[in-house]
Structure formats: structure tokens, C-alpha cells
Structure 1
Amino acid sequence: MKLTGEIFLETAEIFAKGGPVMYLLLICSVAVAAVGMERFRYYHYAAHGGEEFLSALRGRLKAQSAAEVLSFCRQETSSAGAIASAGVAALAAGENVELALNIAHDEEAMKLRARLNWLSMIVTLAPLLGLLGTISGMIEAFNIFSLQAGQPLAITGGIGEALIATATGLCVSIFALIVHTYFAQRLDEILTTLDKAVNIVLALGKEVAEDD
């Protein structure tokens, strides 16, 4: 318990030495963590059971009516289910299936991409904030150096403290980059599943049109 308290005090001391910009970097790190947790949960539900749903959908499209398939699609909670529902609903109503699928695909893709731009912004912003904190800290260090009649320890200590902001900014940027890269990969995987859903329903729509 005592060790934990000492670590906390040391961390707080380092944080204070980094200057006011450390509060902005703290906000950035909290934002990265919050976006990461929210996107992880959303992607989990968006992708959960998507491939299994598409496998079942292929068989049902051939064996059941459009109304029965639509009821099955609406029970699916994944993004693939939402796209298939839109396409099958358009097919059942005699509307443009391809248009309905494209609109649903774009809507789901937009939801999946939401807030990922925050992560990419923080990847760039955090090092710049750290550099700003370092520059302002060095300016302050040089001012102290001039006031203390050129004592070397005054300026070296000030520069050392100023570099804390740069190091923190780089750490936050690396954290954001790792999180962004992970979700970019997950996004590609889910979008591939959505493309499959579009192609499956679109193929059925063409078969129905040819039969008519």
C-alpha cells in the first residue's frame, strides 16, 4: 500500500513538471481509451455471428419465401443482418434491390467508421502538444537561467522537465496508433462480411428478375 502511494506521488510530481499541456495529453489518452472501449463493444455486436448468418441465409433464400427470409433477417443483430433485411425487404416489395442494398451498406459502414477519425487525429495531435509543452518549458528554463546568473544546473534541470511533455505526447500517440490500427483491421474484416451479404441478396434478386 505504501509502495502504491509512493508511485502515485512520483507520477503526480512528474505530471506537474510537464506543465499545463499535460492536462490536454491526459484528455487525449482518456479519449483514446473511451473510443477504444466503445468501438470494441460496437464491433463485437456488429460482427457477432455474421458469417454463420450468411451461411444460413444462402439456404433460406433458395428454400423459403421472401417474407419468411425477411423475418429471419430481422432477428439477426449483426450489421450483415441489417443489410440483408434491407435487400430482402426491397425484393419482397418489388423495389430496386441493388439501391436498397447500397444505401444500407453505406449506412452500416458509416456507423462502423464513426469516431475512428478521433484516433487518427490524436495520433498526430499528441506529439505536437508534447512538443509545444517542451518548447514552452524550455523558454521558461532559459528565463530562469538568465535570472540565476548563468548557473548550468538551472537550465539543464529545466530542459529535463520540459522533455517530459514530449515523452508523454509520444506515448499517447503510440497508444492511439495501436488502437486505431487494431480497429482499422477489424473494420476491414466486417466490411468484407457486409460485401458478402450484398452479393448474396443481389444474386437472389437477379434470379427472381430472370424468373419473372
Structure 2
Amino acid sequence: MQVLELFHQGGLVMYPLLICSIIAITILVERVRTYNAAKSDMDTLRTKVSELVVAGQWKELRDVCEEDGGVAAKLVKTAASQPHDVEKQTQALQGAAGSIAASLRAYLNYLETIVTLAPLLGLLGTVTGMIGSFSVLSISDGEPFAITGGVGEALIATATGLIVAIIALVIHAYLVQRQDNLVAEMEEIGAVYMTALVGDNNAA
């Protein structure tokens, strides 16, 4: 009940702040599930990619990548489905890496917006609350001391805005780190794939 009371005392800006917090938590849940599913078994993938590329077993390589299901495996599978020319493979890897990285970054820009927007909404709530509090002084029979309570209520909006921004910032930092780890995995397995491919072509 006390939380609801504070929420109503914060004014109308508390509603967009609530929406911002819900969006941030929703993005966190969705991205964590996505990143967990995008994780590859790198130890197995490194070994299999090197062995199968050198052996020229492209179908087996695609099957291994399909079974893994991670983004690093998806990158290799995309390249392995193309003609096995080094230049074309390089283009295929670069194109697939850019597309996958973009999908991993999805929704993170919304968190950046919330980090900026939430404190501004809180400040707006404070300003409008103080304007309402100062209006007490314009009433001939009003009590001047009522302004103190009004300012206190208005500061609730600022505190809430800062809390939402801090939570969104922490979520953003965590998700960016998870995304960077997945991108690093793609870069590593791409290098392993191309090293094996170039070595195989040179041997041929």
C-alpha cells in the first residue's frame, strides 16, 4: 500500500516511468533467453571445424553446426553452404557475421533511450510538482507550509527516474557484455574455419 501511495504521489510521470521499467525488464528476459540459445560449444566446434574442413566433409560440417545451434555454428554453416572458394568464403563470413551481430544487438538501443529518458521524466515530474506546490502561495487562505510536503512528493518522481535509469544502465551493460562474448566466439570460429580452409586449398 505504501508503494502505491508513493506511486500516486509522484504524479503522472510515474506512469511512463513504470512503462520504461517494464520494457527494460522485458528486454532483459528476452535477450537472456536469446543469448543462452545462441551460445555454442566452442571446444567441440573448434575441433570439428578444423577436422571436417580439412577433410572436405562439408555435409558433416553443416550437420555439426545444425546440431550445435549457436551463432558461431550458424556462421560456419552459412559459409560451408557456399562455393568453397577463399574469396567467396570470406565474403560469406563477413556478410553472415554482420547480419548475426545486428540481430544480437536488437533492442539494446531501447535500453540506451530509457537510460537517458528516465531521469528527464523524473525531473519533469519534480518541476511540475513544484509548480503545483508554489501555487499554494497564491491562495489567500492557503497554508504556506504546504509547499514543503509538495516538494517532497515531487522529489519522488526524480528518485524513481534515477532508479529506473540505473536499473536500465546495469541491464544494458550486462547484455552488451553477453553480446560481445558471442561476437568474439564468431570471430574466433571464423578464424579457425578460414585457417583450415586456406590450409586445405594450399595443400591442394
Same fold (TM over 0.5): yes
**Aligned residue pairs: how many?**
204
Tell me if structure 1 keeps the 8 A contact 2:20–2:118.
Answer: yes
TM-superposed CA distance for 1:92, in Å, is 4.5
Q: What is aligned with 2:118? A: 126
Q: Which of 172, 175, 186 in structure 2 is aligned with 1:194?
A: 186
What are the equivalent positions in structure 2 for 1:41-56 lying under 5 Å apart?
Answer: 41-56=33-48
Moved more, 28-37 or 65-74: 65-74
Q: Which of 133, 144, 156 in structure 1 is aligned with 2:148?
A: 156
Counterparts of 2:36 and 2:157, CA distance in 1: 35
Counterparts of 2:91 and 2:66, CA distance in 1: 19
Note if 1:204 corresponds to 2:196.
yes
Q: What is aligned with 1:171? A: 163
- Give unmatched runs, 5+ long, in structure 2: none
Counterparts of 1:178 and 1:45, CA distance in 2: 22
Q: What is aligned with 1:25? A: 17
Counterparts of 2:42 and 2:117, CA distance in 1: 36
Q: Look up the SS of the partner of 2:68 in the other structure.
A: coil
User: What is the percent sequence identity of the aligned residues?
Assistant: 38
TM-superposed CA distance for 1:194, in Å, is 0.5
Alpha-carbon distance change, 106 to 44 in structure 1, aligned in 2, over 3 angstroms: same
Tell me if structure 1 keeps the 8 A contact 2:111–2:172.
Answer: yes
Q: What is aligned with 2:139? A: 147
Counterparts of 2:154 and 2:145, CA distance in 1: 14
What RMSD in Å do the two structures reach over aligned CA positions? 1.9
Q: What is aligned with 1:103? A: 95
Q: Deviations over 1:94-115 (max 9, x none)?
A: 8700000011101110110000
Q: Deviations over 1:142-170 (max 9, x none)?
A: 11232155633211111000000000000
Q: Which of 37, 40, 47 in structure 1 is aligned with 2:32?
A: 40
Q: What is aligned with 1:5? A: none
Q: What is aligned with 1:79? A: 71
Moved more, 71-80 or 123-132: 71-80
The letter for the 1-side match of 2:66 is: R
Moved more, 137-146 or 33-42: 137-146
- Give unmatched runs, 5+ long, in structure 1: 1-8
Counterparts of 2:20 and 2:42, CA distance in 1: 33
Counterparts of 2:172 and 2:59, CA distance in 1: 40
Alpha-carbon distance change, 135 to 71 in structure 1, aligned in 2, over 3 angstroms: same
TM-score (norm 1): 0.89
Counterparts of 1:24 and 1:35, CA distance in 2: 16
